[in-house]
Amino acid sequence: MPEPLIDQKFLERLERLTLHWQKSFPGLVGGHNASRYPGSGQEFLDHRGFHQGDDLRAVNWRAYMRLEKLILKLFQVEPRVPVRILLDTSASMTTGDPAKFDYARKLAASLTYVGLVRLETILIQPFDATLHDPYNCGGGRHRIRPAVDFLEALKPGGRSNFAPALRNFIAEYPQRGLVIVISDFLDDQSCEKPIQYLADFGHELFIIHLWGDEDRKPSHNGELELEDAETGESVKLNFDDEARAAYVEAFDNYARSIREITMRKGGRYIGLSTATPIEQAIFGSFLEAKGMQ
């Protein structure tokens, strides 16, 4: 039996957290502020006359009994800041011990639960080179189970390409909000520019950069035959301590560049090794980076 993505005890610990963002998005409210826009909310706002095509479920039948007129109840809409989680499902996420993909799904589930507890609307958007079918949830903590089921059903694969994926994302979701990107950012093309483009569009970025220990510092020495998890290409090379030092430096430089772009655009960046326990990551790195409070 596979290990559950998230257990009940951990969920209870997550309930005291809140997703945090810094930006103010025009026309939207976060947290618990009510709106004056009528719509399909829960709180009563006003009455108006019934018109053809209106929803019969919203008719005030008591008023009709008294006045013999069809009067419609209006409810106030709750325009909250959308929280969207971009989850990398490319084949490179399958490497590492534990696999980055499993770690990313656990993180996504934890963030979704934190958002649901605070009645946020959460969108989970899997992607590799393109966007896959998303999952939208909201309405309270009891909606976490379908979200977890969705995450558990995801299968990794495909090549990652941030540029077209984020371009489609911006086109698909023009409303600004908080965008949490969980990925290893190991795109053969550079992914700094797409991230910058996402931030420039008006989204607030929360970058979670995952790596395995072997991704950052390979332990093997000698003659190696490397196989790319995404492309399947193989390369034969000789690897030693000097080459390892150069590798680590290049990796750290790359991570640093992503961090700098994110920070420069007012976002937050967390670099995480999959060897870090999830609880330690949430209650340590996330709080320190003020991604949550």
Partner 1 sequence: MFFFNLSLGEFTALFGAVSGAVLALYLLDRSRRKIKVATMRFWKPSEKPPEAKHRRRIQQPWSMLMQIIGMGLLLAAIAQLRLGSPDRSSRDHVLLLDTSAWTGARADPQRRLIDEGKINAIRWLRALPGSDRVMVVRADALPTPATVFETNRSAAEKAILESQPGSSALNLQAAFDFARRMQRQHGQSTGEIVFSGAGRTNQTDLPEDNNLPATLRLLPVQVPNRNVGIRRFHLRRAPNDGQLWEIFVAVRNYGRTPEAVPLIVTFGNAPIGSSRFTIAPGAEETARYEFRTKSAGWMEARIQLRDGLLEDNVALLEIPEQKQVRVAIFTRQPELLRPLMNANPRISAAYALPETYKPDVDADVVIIDRFRPPQKPQRPTVWIAPPAEGSPLAVAKSNTNARITRWRAEHPIAHGLHTLDLKLDGATLFTQSPAAETVAEAEGGSLVSTQSDPPAVFLGVHPGMGSLKFELAAPLLMANVMEWIAPEALRRWELDGERVGTVKVALDANTDPSKVQVIGEDQQPLPFSISENTLQFYSATRGNVRVRAGSRETVYSLSLPDVGDTAWEAPAKVRRGLGRITGVDSPVQDLWPWLALLGAALLLAEWLLFGRLRLPVRGAANFLSRFTSFRRAA
Please give the residue ranges that form the binding site for partner 1 (CB under 8 A): 92-93, 95-97, 100, 184, 186, 188, 212, 214-215, 218, 220-230, 233, 235-240, 242-243, 246-247, 250-251, 254
Q: CB-wise, 40 or 221, nearer to partner 1?
A: 221
Q: Closest distance between partner 1 and the C-beta of residue 45, in Å?
A: 52
Q: CB-wise, 91 or 151, nearer to partner 1?
A: 91
Q: Cis bond leading into 126, ω under 30°?
A: no
Give the DSSP letter of residue 143: G
Q: CB-wise, 52 or 238, nearer to partner 1?
A: 238
Q: Closest distance between partner 1 and the C-beta of residue 90, in Å?
A: 9
Nearest to 120 by CA among 37, 38, 40, 33: 33
Q: Closest distance between partner 1 and the C-beta of residue 198, in Å?
A: 21
* CA angle (118, 119, 124) in 5-degree steps: 100
Nearest to 82 by CA among 50, 120, 27: 120
Q: Closest distance between partner 1 and the C-beta of residue 222, in Å?
A: 5
Q: Closest distance between partner 1 and the C-beta of residue 260, in Å?
A: 18
**Which residues, at least 6 apart from 216, have a Cβ–Cβ distance to it below 8 Å?**
248, 251, 252, 273
Nearest to 81 by CA among 178, 170, 204, 181: 178
DSSP per-residue codes, 157-214: -S---HHHHHHHHHHH--S--EEEEEE----SS--HHHHHHHHHHTPEEEEEEEE-HH
Query: How many residues belong to the chain?
Result: 293
Q: Is residue 192 a contact partner of residue 162, using CB atoms and an 8 Å limit?
A: no
Q: CB-wise, 77 or 229, nearer to partner 1?
A: 229
Both tokens of 35, joined, read 């709106």
Q: Three-class SS of residue 149?
A: helix
Q: CB-wise, 83 or 87, nearer to partner 1?
A: 87
Q: CB-wise, 34 or 250, nearer to partner 1?
A: 250
Q: CB-wise, 229 or 287, nearer to partner 1?
A: 229
Q: CB-wise, 4 or 139, nearer to partner 1?
A: 4
Q: Closest distance between partner 1 and the C-beta of residue 191, in Å?
A: 11
Q: Closest distance between partner 1 and the C-beta of residue 42, in Å?
A: 45
For 109, the enclosing helix (H) or strand (E) is helix 100-117
Q: Closest distance between partner 1 and the C-beta of residue 98, in Å?
A: 8
Q: Is residue 115 a contact partner of residue 184, using CB atoms and an 8 Å limit?
A: no
